[in-house]
Amino acid sequence: MRRSPLASTRAASGSRLPRRHPGAPRRSHRNHSRPARLAVPYVFLAPALVLYGAFMLYPVGRAVHLSLFDWDGMGLGVFVGLRNYADLAADGALRASFVHAAVLMIFYCAVPLVIGVIIAAVLNRGKVRGLGFFRTVFFVPQVIAMVVVATAWAGIYAFNGPLNQTLRSLGLGFLAVDWLGSYTWALPAIGLIGTWVEIGLVTVLMLSGMAKINPELYEAARLDGAGAIREFFAVTWPCVVGETAVALTLTIVAALKTFDLVYMTTSGGPGNSTTVPSYQVYYQAFRLHDVGMAAAIGVALTALIFAVNLVVNRLADRAEA
Amino acid sequence: MISRFERTANYAILIVFAALVLVPLVNVVATALGGPASDRTGIHLENFAQAWQQARFSTYMANSVTVTLTVLAISLIVSTLAGYALGTMTFRGSTVIFYLFLLGIMVPGEAIVIPLFFDMRALGMTDTLWAVAMPQVAQSIAFGTYWMRTYFRASNRSIAEAARIDGAGPLRALWSVELPIARPALVTLIVLLFMWTWNEFLIPLVMSPTGKMRTAPLGLAFFQGQHTVDDTLMAAAAVMVALPVVGVYLFAQRHFIKGMLEGTVYE
Amino acid sequence: MTFTKPGIMRRAVGVLALGTLGLAGCAPGSDQDQGEPAVTGDVNTDGASMGDVELILWDQEVRGSQASQFTTLIDEFEDTYPNIKINRVEQSFEDLSTTLALALTDPNPPDIVQANNARNDMGAFVGAGQLLSLEPYATAYDWTERFGETVLKNSRYSSDGKLFGEGNLYGLPQAGEIVGVFYNKEKLADLGLSVPATWDDFTAALEAAKTAGETPLMLGDVEGWPAVHVFGPIQGAHVPPDEVTALGMGNPGADWTTPQNVAAAQQLADWATGGYFNQDFLGGDYDAVVEEFANGTGVFLMAGSWVGAVIDEQMGSNAGFFTPPPAQAGSPKATTGGTSLPFSVTSGSKNPDAAALFIDFITNLHAMEVLAETGNLPILHTAELAPAQGVWADVFAAFQDVSDTGYLLPYLDWATPTFGDEVLKPGLQDLMSARTTPEEFCAALQEDYAAFTAG
């Protein structure tokens, strides 16, 4: 899936705006026959459905299909049923890649959420001058290609790069470690790149939610003598649960597809400490020639994204209800 | 009222975070403009020319432009039509079809790229513009259809209704009445699709195995592999890859962020 | 997504699942024709008669001196045969490894590729029928005369890709390679040491450097394979060469868990945990660390001859090179080495004659001279072309010496299709950071090797 800041799937179906008009043409002044009129929406949809079917739905089906075979991508595949999935569950290194993805979720979702909410609350409450400027700046990492982001950060994390130089000049040289070569730090270091990228997205989403809050609520809270923090939990937070769900959905998806970042920074090392499922898909298919396994990982990844989305939105619905 | 202290604290927080966002980027730009590691002084614009030539950006940038324009053109037309149908017409199956498109937003490229590669190879189509563009068209259609449907559902339908009563067919109503007022939504969609397509890494990597349709981000990745020592050239190449998207974003940011804020959540 | 209507959601998924089931009967790959492609009829060695040809070439000759010999030879080739144009796509070794497998599956692959000798690379490509047997050309151009069998066997596979070291010829190398020890002459002298004659002398020198506050060994292992070139020589000093060769080529009859192998692993682990390497040896970039060494950091650098040019350029007469010393002074030396990545012709090439002509051109006597002049170690005529002084003189002499009287051991990642990427590279990193014991490390290698050799 694309890194879609706004692919707020929940928004679409949950639209509470009244549809002002039922839509379909009730009558046409032209002399279309009834079947022709009925066909109109399908004609409009046809090109999208054909292309989408051919290059999205069919490949998804094929991925499930391929995942049932032992195939090297060259010879004839052998049907093995669900064995690739069993191997996936049994293989320590592959399982670890999913664990790493879970760790990355903390850095891609939880941390940006906290920081993004704070920034948005500040921007919203403070009636800060230069709001447009800050908003534009915070969002910039979202629009830059991951390859570029990785290049920028690999330089920063280099052993004699700016980060360690800064630490050393502050007299904190003992903290200067080999970030991308450390079993302890490589994964968090990659995660922090994700934090850096996602903060802007969360901030913009939160701002949009907060902008819709009735100012009278704030005034009431302030009359009650609520400080900034109580005001936040009493007024702001309940109103942005929906946006939080959207933000979580999007950042979780981003955390689960970190192929280019890992490809550019650590290639999965040291050891296997930064392998992620999306990297494994590529690696299994084109380096180890195990196409069935690659497809199985892709399918598992998709299932995981569906499941996480489901949970997040169930929780959000409950919180709002 | 907001206290003076709070105001100061607010600005402090904002400026710190803005700095954290900007430092890595400024670092790259500064490296790109600077001299080699031995002598950092001065501004060296020739780094860009050299990196452009050594990273073969003439080819890769041209590929990026071709792929991006192709994806944008096809998916905009197609998803506007589909979004219009789903947003303004009632018909049997519309909900199922809508959910089908929603699924596509969540499917990771990693899942479809493997089967697409092997199927297109069997058809002898890998390494073509279509191999690189069409999977991204499908992804863009999923999002674009969702996006335009949301817009059309929320937009004021009375103008369209008037046009219909005037006897305009649905296609003409869409073209001459709906689209002109849909410009903000379209601008945002264009920027998003442009950004995702330009930045895409995995699909062109896999779908162009012999590298004929390699796009600029791939060019940067392979350039980096060869020039880890020469960080000025690498930084210059990175800046050139990022520049078109950042440029479009900054140019359109007013509409873009507004469109996003409006398009996100209707609740 | 608000799943207010989960039923619809489930139905949508159901539609997908149904569509899938219909396909389950048809195995992938069934529509592809297999079979050994071969050059039929006579081969043409007359470049001028080949008409206008464009050859696509994938290589990793990107480091300074390699790049310059290669562009020189390409230019000369195009001057000699104006009708043949070379369209070059160069990448780093690492990127080539990951993208070549993809490229070769294409119906229109590159014509000439540099394929690693390893079973997971050349072996897999041969097995898939993606590379052309060069036997007809070897006869036409007398390559067997030009190269000895010791060189050629590293590019020989049976046509099913299963046997390594025998069978058809699938590629020709340009350069010789020897993995050894680069050293900083001034620093070694400051430590009051000379080039070590035995392995124990070498380890003592490392300890001395450490005590003196120097970084004994430089390594940048972020890509995983550079550590293989540190472990290879250590293993060469501990394990009989014929055993290493069997292990490295993935041929049966050897064992990774012998006490000597474990001792070799133990030594690498000790070096790493004992602080013999630069602090960023796991996360450092290979070329960047070589550059640091060339700029005066560290006493020793265990690496392949291919980095010689970078070191020569920066350090001049301050740089030296020696073969990893044997356990006993005077006994034959054994270290990783052999040939540079061979150039192969793909089965999908429409102009195999022109491709073979190019390979002949870049490996002939004149090409060897160009290699030597531009700061490379030519695989042939090494003694005649050796420079008189500098680090290259050491490298040429070491290569000649080990080729004649010692053992050039195979790169360990050649062993099995999964060996390098799955087991050895992460395993070495785990070993060096004390996350596995030497015994566990060797046991993991043995498991992969044994499973492969058992068939």
Distance CA B36, CA B228 (A): 13
Nearest to C124 among A181, A289, A314 (CB): A289
Cα angle B142, B146, B148; round to 5 = 120
Asked if residue C310 and residue C332 are part of one domain, the reply reads: yes
Distance CA C28, CA A71 (A): 7
Any B CB within 8 A of C139 CB:
no
**Partner A, chain B 42-61, Cβ-Cβ below 8 Å:** none
Asked if residue C327 and residue C225 are part of one domain, the reply reads: yes
Asked if residue C195 and residue C305 are part of one domain, the reply reads: yes
Q: Look at residues B260, B126, B129 and name the one whose alpha carbon lies nearest to residue B187.
A: B260
Any C CB within 8 A of B123 CB:
no
**pLDDT tens digits for range B93-109:** 999 999 999 888 889 99
Supply the pLDDT for residue B244: 95
pLDDT above 60 for C249: yes
Q: Could you tell me the fold of the domain covering A68-320?
A: MetI-like fold (1.10.3720)
CA distance A318 to chain B (A): 15
CA distance B103 to chain A (A): 8
Burial C355-385 (b: 16+ CB within 10 A, else e): bbbbbbbbbeeebbebbbebbbbbbbebeeb
Any A CB within 8 A of B125 CB:
no
DSSP characters for A61-109?
HHHHHHTTEE--SSS--EE-TTHHHHHHHH-HHHHHHHHHHHHHHIIII
User: How would residue B2 be classed by pLDDT, with cut points 50, 70 and 90?
Assistant: low
Asked if residue C280 and residue C360 are part of one domain, the reply reads: no
Domain ranges of chain A: 33-66, 68-320
Chains that touch C (3 or more CB pairs under 8 A): A, B
Which runs of consecutive H residues, i.e. helices, occur in C250-340? 259-273, 286-294, 308-315
**How confident is the prediction for chain C on average, in pLDDT?**
89
Residue of chain A nearest B13, judged by CA positions: A119
**How confident is the prediction for chain B on average, in pLDDT?**
87
Asked if residue C91 and residue C198 are part of one domain, the reply reads: no
Any C CB within 8 A of B209 CB:
yes
Sign of CA dihedral B248, B254, B255, B256: positive
Task: Taking residues C306-321, report their average pLDDT.
Answer: 93
DSSP characters for C49-84?
GG-SEEEEEEE---SHHHHHHHHHHHHHHHHH-TTE
Chosen domain end from C353, C380, C407: C380
Task: Taking residues B149-166, report their average pLDDT.
Answer: 75
Judging by beta carbons within 10 Å of its beta carbon (0-12, 13-18, 19+), is residue A223 exposed, middle or buried?
Answer: exposed
CA distance B117 to chain C (A): 10
Any C CB within 8 A of B201 CB:
no
Supply the pLDDT for residue B181: 81
DSSP characters for A117-184?
HHHHHHHHHTT-TTHHHHHHHHHHHHHS-HHHHHHHHHHHHSTTSHHHHHHHHTT-GGG---GGG-TT
The CB density around residue B31, as the number of other CB atoms within 10 Å, is: 24
Which comes out higher in pLDDT, residue B43 or B137?
B137
How many domains, chain C? 2
Asked if residue C262 and residue C160 are part of one domain, the reply reads: no
Q: Look at residues C200, C208, C188, C257 and name the one whose alpha carbon lies nearest to residue C234.
A: C200
The reply to whether residue C108 touches residue B211, judged by beta carbons under 8 angstroms, is no
CA distance B148 to chain A (A): 10
Domains of chain B: 57-216+238-264 (1.10.3720.10)
Asked if residue C435 and residue C292 are part of one domain, the reply reads: yes
Which tokens is C161 given?
A: 């890709």
Judging by beta carbons within 10 Å of its beta carbon (0-12, 13-18, 19+), is residue C408 exposed, middle or buried?
Answer: buried
The reply to whether residue C430 touches residue A69, judged by beta carbons under 8 angstroms, is no
* A95, A109 Cβ separation under 8 angstroms: no
Helices B231-264 and A146-157 pack at an angle, to 10 degrees, of 130
Supply the pLDDT for residue A6: 42
Nearest to C29 among A9, A74, A183 (CB): A74
Chosen domain end from C318, C352, C380: C380
Chosen domain end from C380, C409, C441: C380
Any C CB within 8 A of A214 CB:
no
**Range with lowest mean pLDDT among B111-125, C14-28, C394-408:** C14-28
pLDDT above 80 for B156: no
Task: Taking residues C28-38, report their average pLDDT.
Answer: 51
Distance CA A292, CA B258 (A): 44
Domain span holding position C344: 47-175+340-380
* A288, A224 Cβ separation under 8 angstroms: no
Distance CA A97, CA B267 (A): 37
Q: C185: Cβ–Cβ under 8 A, 6 or more apart, which residues?
A: C317, C318, C319, C320
Asked if residue C441 and residue C414 are part of one domain, the reply reads: yes
* A261, A100 Cβ separation under 8 angstroms: no
pLDDT above 70 for B247: yes
In a domain, C367, yes or no: yes
Chains that touch B (3 or more CB pairs under 8 A): A, C
CA distance B175 to chain A (A): 13
Residue C184, domain CATH? 3.40.190.10
Q: Residue C307 carries which DSSP code?
A: G
User: How would residue C40 be classed by pLDDT, with cut points 50, 70 and 90?
Assistant: low
Asked if residue C347 and residue C322 are part of one domain, the reply reads: no
Distance CA A274, CA A266 (A): 7
Q: Cα B154 to the chain's mean position, in Å? A: 24
Which comes out higher in pLDDT, residue B176 or B191?
B191
Supply the pLDDT for residue A26: 44
* A51, B189 Cβ separation under 8 angstroms: no
**pLDDT tens digits for range C251-285:** 899 999 999 999 999 999 999 999 999 999 999 99
Distance CA B64, CA B56 (A): 12
Asked if residue C346 and residue C266 are part of one domain, the reply reads: no
In a domain, C389, yes or no: no
* A109, A194 Cβ separation under 8 angstroms: no
**pLDDT tens digits for range C83-134:** 999 999 888 888 888 889 888 888 889 999 999 999 989 999 999 899 999 9
Asked if residue C402 and residue C362 are part of one domain, the reply reads: no
User: How would residue B211 be classed by pLDDT, with cut points 50, 70 and 90?
Assistant: confident
Which tokens is C216 given?
A: 């004994």
Q: Look at residues A149, A106, A306, A132 and name the one whose alpha carbon lies nearest to residue A203.
A: A132
Which comes out higher in pLDDT, residue B227 or C163?
C163
Q: Cα B212 to the chain's mean position, in Å? A: 22
pLDDT above 70 for C38: no
**pLDDT tens digits for range C376-387:** 999 999 988 999
Task: Taking residues C388-403, report their average pLDDT.
Answer: 92
The reply to whether residue B95 touches residue C8, judged by beta carbons under 8 angstroms, is yes
Distance CA A289, CA A280 (A): 12
Q: C43: Cβ–Cβ under 8 A, 6 or more apart, which residues?
A: C136, C137, C140, C352, C353, C356
The CB density around residue C296, as the number of other CB atoms within 10 Å, is: 12
Asked if residue C293 and residue C359 are part of one domain, the reply reads: no
pLDDT above 80 for A107: yes
